[in-house]
Every structure is written in C-alpha cells, then in structure tokens.
Amino acid sequence: MPKLTVEGVGVFDVPAGKRLVLALVDDAKIDQLHACGGLARCTTCRVEFVSGEPATMTNAEKKVLAERGLSGVRLSCQIICDHDMTVRVISRLAGSGRPNPGPRPADMIPPS
C-alpha cells in the first residue's frame, strides 16, 4: 500500500490505484475541493507536491494547467496513488465560500 503524507495532517496507507483526490477525502479526511467532480476542468483540486510527484501527467491535466498558466501545482483528480507521496493541500472547502466541495469524483480517472 502506498503511503500518502499530507503535510500538517498525517500519514495514511492508501489502496494502490486510488485517485489522489479520493484518498485525500476518504482516507485523510481533508475537505479537498473538486468542483467539477474530477474531470480536470476546474482546477479546484490543486495540490503541491513536497515529494513523490508522479513523472507522468494525463492529457487533460496538461491541457487545463497550460490553459490557466498554472505551474508548481498538480490536479489531485488526475493522479493515481501508486507510490509513496507527500502533498501540501492548497484547495480546501473551508474558507472557499463554496457551499460544498463538489460532486464526488468517480473511482477511475475518465479517459482524456
């Protein structure tokens, strides 16, 4: 089982193959935003990697980050937990002014 370390929160064993956004919500109990439901459209699920950043990126993630001119962040909805990683959560429901984090993302990343 991969270990997910959430800076300032703790270390969690996560089932291999689980989407990072769902690991943050389900396992780490973080109020992580995911306004578009994990479809790589809104960028509200952004995280910063402290270590263990995946070398690969989905086409959908590449596209939306480029369109928005974002660097130094990744979309947790487009990352699979398949190795140990440490993240800093930067997009939380608390303080966002949103009524909810968004619809629950599917278990699998949709094809891009």
pLDDT of residue 43: 96
How far is 86 from 96, CA to CA, in rounded Å?
A: 23
Res. 53 pLDDT band, cuts 50 70 90: very high
The three-state secondary structure class of 23 is helix
pLDDT of residue 111: 81
Does residue 112 register a pLDDT over 80?
Answer: no
How far is 85 from 53, CA to CA, in rounded Å?
A: 7
The predicted model scores a pTM of 0.95
Does residue 66 register a pLDDT over 80?
Answer: yes
pLDDT of residue 48: 98
pLDDT of residue 40: 95
22-28 average pLDDT score? 98
The number of C-alpha atoms within 13 Å of 101 and in the hemisphere containing its C-beta is 21
pLDDT of residue 96: 94
pLDDT of residue 110: 87
